[in-house]
Structure 1
Amino acid sequence: MAAIHDLLAQVQDEALRARLEQEINRLSKTKKFGLVFEEHLPECTPLYDIPVKRGSTVAKKTGAVSEMYEVNSIKDGIATCYHKVTEEKEEIPVDELVCVAQFGEPIYPYLKPIDSICNAPDSDLWHTLIEADNYHALQLLEYLYAGKVDCIYIDPPYNTGARDWKYNNDYVDGADAYRHSKWLSMMKKRLGLARKLLNPSNSVLIVTIDEKEYLHLGCLLEEMFSDARMQMISSVISFKGSSRKYQFTRLDEYIYILEFGDALVNRLPLSDEWRINPDDKRATHLTWKYLIRSGGAGLRERSPGNFYPIFFTNEGKYYDVGEPLPLGEDRNSIIPPEGTFAVFPVDTQGREHYWNINKEKFLDYKSKGYIKFGRRTANGVPVMFLTSGEIKKVEDGVYKIDGYDENGTIISEDEVRDIMPGTQWRVTTHDATRHGTDLLSKILPGRSFPYPKSLYAVHDVINFFVTDKPDALIVDFFAGSGTTLHAVNLLNKEDGGHRRCICVTNNEVSSSEQDGLKEQGLVPGDPEWEKYGIARYITWPRTCCTILGKDSKGNDIKGDYYSFGQEEAFHMSDGFESNVMYYKLGFLDKTSVALGRQLSELFPLLWLKAGAHGPCPQLEGDKIHMKVLPENQFAILMDEKYFPEFDAEVQKHPEIQTIYIVTDSEAGYREMISGYSGKDTFQLYRDYLDNFRINTGR
C-alpha cells in the first residue's frame, strides 16, 4: 500500500488522484493480523564517484534520490534529461546531477583505498572499515564471507521520529504515516543478507533497539530467523534517565540475541553488578590471572629467562616444568618426557611471549597452591596464577582457604566465579553518557555524534559469544561512531586474541551541519561536504586515535580502560597493536571487468576473500602474468600460459590457502586446480561477475 501511495503522488490528474485515494483508503481498512508492513519503493543509492554520461540514471544532488531521470544527451556541461515517471524533459547542469543505483540492478562493486593505519607491523591481522550504503556493502560481504561470520552486532537507527535516518535519501520524520513500515522494509532487506553471512553451525546475531520499534523488530526477527534461539535483554544505558513528558523516565534499551547452531552464552568472571541475586555479593574475591604475559609488551625477547616449558600428561594433568630456553633456541627442539606434551607462552597467532614469573617462583607458587590449571584445549592447557597482591590477601587471612584440589591448588569460597547473568543488566560501565558520549569527546575533542554506545556495553555483549573464539570474524554494518571496532581491539588486548572486525558505515553528514554547508553552496559529493560525513569525521578518526593512543589534536588520551579481572590497567594512551584498512565502496563497469582491465581495482576484494592477511598488496604494471603472495596467503594467475611457473612457485609456499585463476575455459580451470586439494580456488572473472549478476535483488 505504501508503494501505491508513493506512486499516487505522481499522478497529475487531480480528479483521478482523488478517486484513487478514496478506493485505496477503503481497501486499507481491511483487517490484517500478524506483522504486516508495506514493501516500499526500492531503495536507491547515489553514486558520487561515477561520471554522468549519456544513458545514465541520475537524480539531482539537492533533491530526492528517488526522483530519477535518464540522461538523453550532454552538451556544454548541460544534460538533457527525461523524468523516469512523467517523461517530462528538463535541462540540468551536469555538476548538479549524481548517478543512481536502483535496488535490484546488478552491481559490480570494488573497494577504493582511502587510508590505512598500521600499529602492529609484525601482525597479519587487519580490520576493515568500509564507507558505503550498507545494503550494497552486505552484497559484497556475501560474496566474500558467506557462512563464515561468527558474530554480527548492529545498532540500527531507532526510528525515533527525529532526523536520525533516511529512506531514499530523505529523512523519515514522526509525521510520516509509513514511518514504521519504511523502517521494517529497510531492516528486512539488510537482515536477509546478514543471515547469509552467519555461520549456520555456530554464530550469533545481536541487535540493539529501544521502545519505538522493539515490538516490530522482535516479530520480524522471529519471522526471518525461526530456527534461531532468541532472547531479549533489558539493559540500563542511562542512570540519569531520559525523561518522557507525562511518562516514566526511560533508563534502558533492549538487546535481541539470536543464537544459531551450537552457539552458546559463555559464563564469564564478572563483577557483582551482574549477579542475579543482589544479596549474593562479597566485598572481596580471589582472582586468578593468566600466567602468559600477552600484548606487545610481553614478547619473548623482553624476558627470555621466563620462556620455559610446562609439561602435561596427554590427559592434561600437570607433570613437570623445564628449563628456560636461551633466546634464539627453537621451542620445537624440546623433546617432552614420554607421554607428555609441552606448553609454552605462545598466543593464538603463534607469537612467543613469556610467563609472568620465572621457573623458581613458579615452583614456589605451585608448592603453595598458587598455580591453577584449566582444561586441555586445542591450544594446550591454560595456566593461571595469583599475583603478589592476591597472595598477600590469602596470607593475611582476607581470603579463607577451604581446601586444595587434585593439583594442590587452593580452593576458596571467595574465588571469583564465572557468572551467567540474567536478562536484566544494570552495569555502571554500560552508561552511554559516561562511556559513550564522554569517552568519544576525549578521543575527538570538539566533535559530536548522537548517542554513541558505551564501549563496555558493546565489549561485554560480544564477549559472551567470542571469548572462546580468539580468531572470530565480527561484522557491524551500522558502525556509526566505530564502537564495535574499538571494543574488538580491547577484547584482543585483554586476552591476546586475533579477532577480526569488519565495519560498514555511510558518510552521511549530520542534519545540523548540512544547513551550514548548503549555505556555502556545497552539495553531497563535494570534498568539503564529504569530509564532515560520519565515516571521515568520526568513525575513521576514532579508529586511528584509539589505536595510536592520541586524541584528534595529537595529545595522549587520558584515562584507563576498565577491564574487570585484569592484572593491571590498560592505559588509553598505550593504544592497541592493531591494523586497519579504510575503503570506500564503488562500482565497476561489467565489460571492463570481463576484459581484465580492472584487476588492480579488484585486488582489495581478492585480499579480503583470502582472509585479509598482512597489508593489502597492490597490483602495479600491466604485463604481470602472476602474483604469488605468501604474506597474504593467496596467489593469482593472470595468464594461464604461465601455469607451470605459477604452480612451481605456489608449491614452495604451503601457507598459500587461496588461489585465483583468470581464464575463460572451464575445462582448463578444472585441470589447473586439480592439484590444489584442500585450498580455496576461484575462477576469475567468472566467479565475480556471476555472483553479482545472479545474486541481485534478493
Structure 2
Amino acid sequence: MSRLTDLIARAKAKDRALGEELEREFKTLASRRAFGLNFERHRPESVELPGRPVRRGDKVRILPPRGSVERGDQRLWRVIRLNAGAEPQTALVSLIDVEDPEMVDVAVADLVVLAEFRDYIYPGLVSTGKVERGDDKPFHTVINGENFHVLEALTYTHRGKFDAIYIDPPYNTGARDWKYNNNYVEGEDIYRHSKWLAFMERRLRIARELLDPLNSILIVTIDEKEYLRLGLLLQQCFPEAAQQMVTIVINPNGVARGRELARVEEYAFFLFFGDASPALLADSLLDTESTTGTGASRVRWEWLMRGGSNSRRQDRPNLFYPIFIDPQQKIVVDVGDAIPLGQPKESVSDRPGLVTVWPLRTTGEEANWRTSPSYLRELLKAGHARVGAYDKKNDRWSMLYLGKAQIRRIVDGEIAVTGKREDGSLLLEATTDEAKRTPKTVWNRPGHKAGEYGSLLVKKFLGGRAFPFPKSLYAVEDALRIAVAKKPKALILDFFSGSGTTAHAIMRLNRQDGGRRQCISVTNNEVAADEQAALRKEGLRPGDPDWEKLGICDYITKPRIAAAITGKTPEGQDIAGDYKFTDEFPMAEGFEENAEFFTLTYETPVAVSHNLAFQRIAPLLWMRAGSEGRRIDDLPHTGWEVADTYGLLVDLDCSAAFCEAVASQANARIAYIVTDDDRRFQAVARALPDSVEPVRLYESYLSNFRFSMGR
C-alpha cells in the first residue's frame, strides 16, 4: 500500500465522505502517467532495532513468545512509561494510529524498538574490534547498522567527500534476499518492483549528498531482473551524471532458466560526476591481446619475510638469520649468517646502536626470509633491498627487496633507474611504452568468474563459511581501478557491503601502487532467512548473542576483512593459495592495512547536548577527521586534547593552550569546540590556523540530523 493510500484509509476511518472524495481525486491523478519511471513510493520503511534499550516514547512491536516461529504482532505501540521496580521489568504501551487506543502492560524483554525512516535519528558508533598492520595508514571501517541510517550518519562525517561509491544491492529476484518493512519481498508480491525502487531511491538520494560533485564515480551492479528500471531510476536521481552500462561475463558456462537462453553476464552502471572519467588501463578488459596481470606499469618492492607455505623457521632453517639495521638512518648495516635450527636467536648478541631484525610474525612465531644471507648482501650492494616501515604496535621493522622478475625488467629496460635513496636503494620508474586505453563496456576475463573468485574465495578466507553470490574479487578490483586508479588517497563507500569484497579489492589496489585509499563498508547483521526458523525454534531472538553471532556482519564481513589483512582464517590458519592476475603473491602474507569495526547506535539529542553520549559520538568525530591515528574516546579531564588529526576543546577557559597545541600539530585538520555560545566559538575559531576547520559541538551535529535530510 502506498503512503497516499494509507493516509486515505486513515481519513476514511475518521470521515468516510471526505475519505472517498480524496480517493476519487487520487485515482484520477494516478491515471495521468508522466513520461519516465513511475512507481509507488511506499510508506516509509521501518527497521527493528534488537538490543537497543527501550525508552519512554519509543515506537515498539510486541515479539512473539520465545520458541514460536509464527509472525509476531505487526502493530505499532508507543511506550507510555517504564514500570520501575517490576521484576521482570514491564512497560505500559499504547497502540498507535487507532481511534480508541488500547493500552497493555508488556514485559520489556518482549518489546523491540522500531525506527521508521521518517523519524529523526541521532547516530553514534561503538567499536567492536580492530586489526592494525598498516602503521600510520588511515583505517578502513566496517559499520554494522541499517544502511539508510548509516548513510544519514555519514552526511555529518563525509558529506561531499567520497571519490567513489560501489554498491551491489539486492537484485530483487523474488527469492528471500531482502526485506521491506521487516518483511521479505517475495516473487508473488504485486508491489515487488515498486517497493524495490522506493527502497533504492531513498538510499541513492542520500548517496548523492556524499559524493564529491566535482569529481566522483558511482558504480551500481545488477542483473537482468531490474537493470532496465535501475537505469532509468539512476537517470532520474542523477540527471547531471554521464551514465554507461557495462556487461560483465561472470559465468562463461551460463545458467539457463526454463526456456530462456543461458545467462552468462550481469551488469554494472557507471555514473561519472563533474570532471570524473575512467582511468586508462593497459587492459581493455575485452580485447584478447591485452590481459590483466602483465605487470608492465608497476614497480613492486616485495616483503623479504616469507608468507604462506614453507614459511616457518623449521621449514627452511638456512633462511633464519639476523639483519642489523640503524633505526635512525633506516639503513642495513650488516647481514648475519643463518644459525642452526636448535640454536635460539638470543644466542646472537645485539650490536650497540643497532636493531637486530629477525623474521618473526606478529604472534612471535619464528619464520624465514625469502633469500639467503649471501644473496641479500648482493641485493643490498646493488640497491635492490632496503629497510621498510616500522610497525609501532608490534615493535618491529619490515624488510623489502626486488624479486628476480623486477630485476629482469630493469635489465630489459622496462624499468628505469632514476636515482638512489639516501640508504643506497634504487629509485625506479616504469618506462614501458605499452599503450593504455579506455576499458570497454563488455568485460570478458577469467578473473571475473563469480564462482571461483567469489564464492570459493570467500570460503577459503573464512575457513569454509559460505556466503550467497559474492562478487569476484578481481571483477570488483577492476571496476574500482577504473574509478580510483588516479587517486591514491581516494575515499570509497560501499553501503551494501555483504562479504566485504570492496574493502578487500581496495587493499589490493593499495598494495599495487602504494596507495592510502580508504574504504567504508556498511552492512546489517541479518541472519540468513533459512536459518532463522531453526534459531527461533531454539528459543532465540534477534539481539540474543547466539543469534547475532550468525549475522552477516559478525559472521562474514568482519572476519573476511580481518582475514584479508592478517592472512589467517578466523581459526588462525594461514590462508592457502596465491592471489592471481594483476598482483600475484601468497594470500597468507596479508596486507599492511588497518581496519576497525563499529555498530551503529541511536542516541537522544538531550544526551548528546549534555555531553552524556560522547563515547558514542567520538568515533564520528574521528572519522570526520580522516580515520587516522589516535582517537579521543573520553572527555579530557584537562579540558582539551589534541590527537593526530584533530583536537577537542571542552573548557573554553583553556582555549589559548588548545589553539597553541593545534597549531603545533602539523596533521591537524579539525578543531571540535564544545559550547552553546556562538560568540565564544567564533573567538576560538579566529585563533586557530587557517588550515584547521573549526566545528561547534554539538550544534553542528544536532542541526545536521534535524534539518539536512529533508523530512
TM-score when normalising by structure 1: 0.80
Alignment of 1:140-179 (within 5 A): 140-179=153-192
- 1:492 maps to 510
- Structure 1 residue 288, shift from structure 2 partner: 3.4
The partner residue of 1:57 within 45, 53, 59 is 59
* Residue 456 to residue 287, structure 1, CA distance change in 2 (3 Å): closer
- 2:75 maps to 67
Alignment of 1:122-271 (within 5 A): 122-270=135-283
- 2:617 maps to 602
Contact 1:442 1:558 in 2 (8 A): yes
The partner residue of 1:421 within 419, 425, 439 is 439
Instruction: For residues 194-235 of structure 1, give each alpha carbon's deviation from its aligned partner in whole angstroms, at most 9, with x where no partner exists.
Output: 111111111100000111111111111111111111100011
- Describe the SS at the equivalent of 1:128: strand
Correspondence 1:106 to 2:120: yes
- Structure 1 residue 529, shift from structure 2 partner: 1.1
- Describe the SS at the equivalent of 1:147: coil
- Structure 1 residue 655, shift from structure 2 partner: 2.3
Alignment of 1:37-56 (within 5 A): 37-56=39-58
Instruction: For residues 419-460 of structure 1, give each alpha carbon's deviation from its aligned partner in whole angstroms, at most 9, with x where no partner exists.
Output: 323211111111111101111111123422111111111111
- 1:577 maps to 592
- Structure 1 residue 119, shift from structure 2 partner: 2.2
Between the aligned partners of 2:625 and 2:293, the Cα distance in structure 1 is 45
Between the aligned partners of 1:163 and 1:597, the Cα distance in structure 2 is 40
Alignment of 1:72-91 (within 5 A): 72-75=80-83, 76=86, 77-86=89-98, 87-91=101-105
Instruction: For residues 146-170 of structure 1, give each alpha carbon's deviation from its aligned partner in whole angstroms, at most 9, with x where no partner exists.
Output: 1111010000001111101001111
- 2:657 maps to 645
- Structure 1 residue 304, shift from structure 2 partner: 4.1
Between the aligned partners of 2:517 and 2:450, the Cα distance in structure 1 is 24
- Structure 1 residue 672, shift from structure 2 partner: 1.0
- Structure 1 residue 628, shift from structure 2 partner: 1.4
Contact 1:56 1:70 in 2 (8 A): yes
Correspondence 1:691 to 2:698: no
* Residue 4 to residue 175, structure 1, CA distance change in 2 (3 Å): farther
* Residue 672 to residue 64, structure 1, CA distance change in 2 (3 Å): farther
Instruction: For residues 594-636 of structure 1, give each alpha carbon's deviation from its aligned partner in whole angstroms, at most 9, with x where no partner exists.
Output: 1122222211111111111124342267x3411111xx31111
- 1:313 maps to none
Contact 2:303 2:398 in 1 (8 A): no
Alignment of 1:467-616 (within 5 A): 467-564=485-582, 566=583, 569-616=584-631
- Describe the SS at the equivalent of 1:419: coil
Between the aligned partners of 1:519 and 1:12, the Cα distance in structure 2 is 41
Figure out how many residues of one structure are paired with residues of the other and give that number: 617
Letter in 1 for 2:668: I
Letter in 2 for 1:545: A
Alignment of 1:280-359 (within 5 A): 280=289, 288=296, 290-291=298-299, 293=301, 304=331, 356=402
Letter in 2 for 1:626: W
- Structure 1 residue 559, shift from structure 2 partner: 0.9
Between the aligned partners of 1:476 and 1:459, the Cα distance in structure 2 is 13
Between the aligned partners of 2:215 and 2:304, the Cα distance in structure 1 is 31
- 1:466 maps to 484
Letter in 2 for 1:491: L
Letter in 1 for 2:545: P
The partner residue of 2:686 within 674, 693, 696 is 674
- Structure 1 residue 464, shift from structure 2 partner: 1.0
Instruction: For residues 372-395 of structure 1, give each alpha carbon's deviation from its aligned partner in whole angstroms, at most 9, with x where no partner exists.
Output: 489xxxxxx99436xxxxxxxxxx
Letter in 2 for 1:70: R
Letter in 2 for 1:600: Q
Contact 1:286 1:416 in 2 (8 A): no
- Describe the SS at the equivalent of 2:201: helix
- 1:384 maps to 429
* Residue 367 to residue 134, structure 1, CA distance change in 2 (3 Å): closer
Letter in 1 for 2:574: D
Between the aligned partners of 2:696 and 2:22, the Cα distance in structure 1 is 53
- Structure 1 residue 292, shift from structure 2 partner: 5.5
Letter in 2 for 1:255: A
Between the aligned partners of 2:354 and 2:277, the Cα distance in structure 1 is 41
Between the aligned partners of 1:300 and 1:503, the Cα distance in structure 2 is 40
Instruction: For residues 478-525 of structure 1, give each alpha carbon's deviation from its aligned partner in whole angstroms, at most 9, with x where no partner exists.
Output: 001111111111111122111000000011111011011100111111
- Structure 1 residue 652, shift from structure 2 partner: 2.5
- 1:635 maps to 647
Contact 1:138 1:190 in 2 (8 A): yes
- 2:341 maps to none
- Structure 1 residue 111, shift from structure 2 partner: 0.3
Unaligned residue ranges in structure 2 (runs of 5+): 65-70, 307-322, 334-352, 356-384, 391-396, 419-425
Letter in 2 for 1:587: Y
Unaligned residue ranges in structure 1 (runs of 5+): 307-325, 329-343, 375-380, 386-408
- Structure 1 residue 31, shift from structure 2 partner: 4.8
- Describe the SS at the equivalent of 1:435: helix
* Residue 561 to residue 55, structure 1, CA distance change in 2 (3 Å): same
Between the aligned partners of 2:691 and 2:398, the Cα distance in structure 1 is 28
- Structure 1 residue 526, shift from structure 2 partner: 1.4
- 1:400 maps to none
Contact 1:108 1:588 in 2 (8 A): yes
Letter in 1 for 2:579: Y
* Residue 179 to residue 624, structure 1, CA distance change in 2 (3 Å): farther
* Residue 65 to residue 581, structure 1, CA distance change in 2 (3 Å): farther
- Describe the SS at the equivalent of 2:55: coil
Contact 1:128 1:580 in 2 (8 A): yes
Letter in 2 for 1:41: R
Letter in 2 for 1:605: L
CA-atom RMSD, angstroms? 3.7
* Residue 518 to residue 21, structure 1, CA distance change in 2 (3 Å): farther
Between the aligned partners of 1:457 and 1:367, the Cα distance in structure 2 is 33
Contact 1:476 1:503 in 2 (8 A): yes
Between the aligned partners of 1:634 and 1:474, the Cα distance in structure 2 is 21
- Structure 1 residue 64, shift from structure 2 partner: 6.9
Identity %: 38
- 2:2 maps to 2
- Structure 1 residue 73, shift from structure 2 partner: 3.5
Between the aligned partners of 1:153 and 1:286, the Cα distance in structure 2 is 26
Between the aligned partners of 1:93 and 1:365, the Cα distance in structure 2 is 72
Between the aligned partners of 1:682 and 1:165, the Cα distance in structure 2 is 38
Between the aligned partners of 1:649 and 1:149, the Cα distance in structure 2 is 29
Between the aligned partners of 2:37 and 2:198, the Cα distance in structure 1 is 12
- Describe the SS at the equivalent of 1:536: helix
TM-score when normalising by structure 2: 0.79
Between the aligned partners of 1:669 and 1:300, the Cα distance in structure 2 is 53
Contact 1:161 1:174 in 2 (8 A): yes
* Residue 348 to residue 180, structure 1, CA distance change in 2 (3 Å): farther
- Structure 1 residue 104, shift from structure 2 partner: 2.5
* Residue 420 to residue 54, structure 1, CA distance change in 2 (3 Å): closer
Contact 2:138 2:626 in 1 (8 A): no
Between the aligned partners of 1:22 and 1:473, the Cα distance in structure 2 is 48
